[in-house]
Amino acid sequence: MTPVYIETFKKGLLAEKIKEASEILETCALCPRVCGVDRLSGEVGVCRTGKDAWVSSCNPHFGEEAPLVGTGGSGTIFFTHCNLMCNFCQNYDISHEGCGEAVSPEDIAKMMLFLQKSGCHNINFVTPTHVVPQILSAIEIAADKGLSVPLVYNTGAYDRAEILEILEGVFDIYMPDFKFWDPEIAKATCDAEDYPETARNALIEMHRQVGDLVTDESGVATRGLLVRHLVLPKGLAGTREVMRFIAQKISTNTYVNIMPQYRPCGRAAEVRELAGYPSRKDFETAIQAAQEEGITRLDSRKRVFMIC
C-alpha cells in the first residue's frame, strides 16, 4: 500500500493543511488546553513550546508493538514537552524537564529520511499533538525528497477532533494511549478532567479515518488504529470501561496493547495509589476484562513485571 500522504502531497493538499495548522499557532488551540498564546511570536503555554518543535531523540526502536517493529524497527522521533503532562510520565525528563533541543522542519525531514534509509518500516512521531504544524511542514519537505514509508501518530489521545480532521490524508496509522476512564483520576494526574471525553472523541475520529489495523504479508502494519492502555495500580485506569467503549463504539477488531510496565516516576507519589506498582493480578484482571468486553486482538509480547 502506498502511504496516503504521498497522494495528498502530490495534489497540493498538504500545503493547505500546513497553512491551516500554522495559523492556529497565532492563538494556540491545537490541543484541548486552548492556551490562546501566540506561539509564532515565542509565547508558550502548557506545552512550553513556541514556534519551533523540540526533539529529544531519533532512532530505530525495537521495543514498540510487533506490527510496527517488524525486522527493521519503528523509526521513532521523540518530541520534547507535552500537552497532557501526566505526573507519573515514564519519560518525565523529556515531557516535564524539557530534555532535547529545538529543531526546524528541515531538521525533522532529515531525521525522517535517515530513519527510512536505516530500514525502519515507518516514521513514528511520539508526542506529536503540540507540534502538528511543524510535523506537517517536515512531511512536505521529506515527501518531496523521497519519503515513502507509513507515518505513525503516537499520542496520549488528548487531541481535539477538529485538529485530527486536518490530519486526514496524512497519517496511515494512529496509535493513541487511552489512559483513564474516570475524570477525577485524569484531574488528579494531569489536571485534565476532560481527558476521558476528549480521548473518546479522538479515537472515534482516528478510526473513522483509518479503520482497523491492517498488516502486510510479513505482519508489518500499513494502516489503521492501534490502541495502547497502561495498567495502573488499584484499577485506576478503568480498564473494563475503556475496553467496553472500544468494543461498542470503535470495533471489536481493534488491535489493543494492554501494558503492564507502569512504574512510579516523576511526581507519581502525589497520588497515593500511584506510588506502587501494578501486580501480576492487576494485569491478568485487565486482560480478562478486555476479553469479556469483546476485545480479543491483543498484543501478545512477553510481559515483564516489576513486582509479582
Percent of the chain with pLDDT over 90: 95
Show the CA angle centred on residue 303, arms to residues 297 and 307, nearest 5°: 135
Mean pLDDT over each residue of the chain, to the nearest integer: 95
Are 33 and 81 in contact by the 8 Å Cβ rule? The answer is: no
Asked whether the predicted pLDDT for residue 306 surpasses 60, the reply is no
Domain range holding 287? 4-21+57-292
pTM given for the model: 0.96
What's the structural domain count of the chain? 1
For 113-125, how does the pLDDT look when each residue is reduced to its tens digit (9 = 90+)? 999 999 999 999 9
The answer as to whether 36 is a domain residue is no
The answer as to whether 256 is a domain residue is yes
DSSP for 180-212? -S-HHHHHHHHS-TTHHHHHHHHHHHHHHHH-B
The answer as to whether 115 is a domain residue is yes
| CATH code for the domain of 217 | 3.20.20.70
Asked whether the predicted pLDDT for residue 302 surpasses 70, the reply is no
The answer as to whether 298 is a domain residue is no
Mean pLDDT of 35-56: 97
DSSP 8-state code for residue 250:
I
The answer as to whether 303 is a domain residue is no
User: Which residue, 53, 182, 62, is CA-closest to 106?
Assistant: 53
**Cα–Cα distance measured from residue 111 to residue 76, given in angstroms and rounded to the nearest whole number:** 9
Asked whether the predicted pLDDT for residue 161 surpasses 90, the reply is yes
Helix axes of 132-144 and 13-24: crossing angle, nearest 10 degrees: 160
Positive or negative CA dihedral for 114, 115, 119, 123? negative
> For residue 128, what are the contacts with CB-CB under 8 A and spacing of at least 6?
79, 135, 153, 154, 155
Asked whether the predicted pLDDT for residue 304 surpasses 70, the reply is no
C-alpha cell at position 143: 515527501
Beta-bridge mates of residue 55 = 79, 101
For 136-153, how does the pLDDT look when each residue is reduced to its tens digit (9 = 90+)? 999 999 999 999 999 999
Which SS3 state, helix, strand or coil, does residue 97 take? coil
Percent of the chain with pLDDT over 70: 97
The answer as to whether 114 is a domain residue is yes
Mean pLDDT of 240-262: 97
For position 145, what pLDDT does the model report? 98
Asked whether the predicted pLDDT for residue 155 surpasses 50, the reply is yes
Mean pLDDT of 245-261: 97
Asked whether the predicted pLDDT for residue 281 surpasses 80, the reply is yes
Using DSSP bridges, classify how beta strands 74-79 and 53-61 pair: parallel, antiparallel or unpaired.
antiparallel
The answer as to whether 39 is a domain residue is no
For position 1, what pLDDT does the model report? 82
> Predicted confidence band at 307 (pLDDT cuts at 50, 70, 90)?
very low
> Which residues in 103-138 are b (16+ Cβ under 10 Å) and which e?
bebebbbbbbbebbeeebbbbbbbbbbbbbbbbbbb
Mean pLDDT of 180-195: 97
The answer as to whether 46 is a domain residue is no
Asked whether the predicted pLDDT for residue 305 surpasses 70, the reply is no
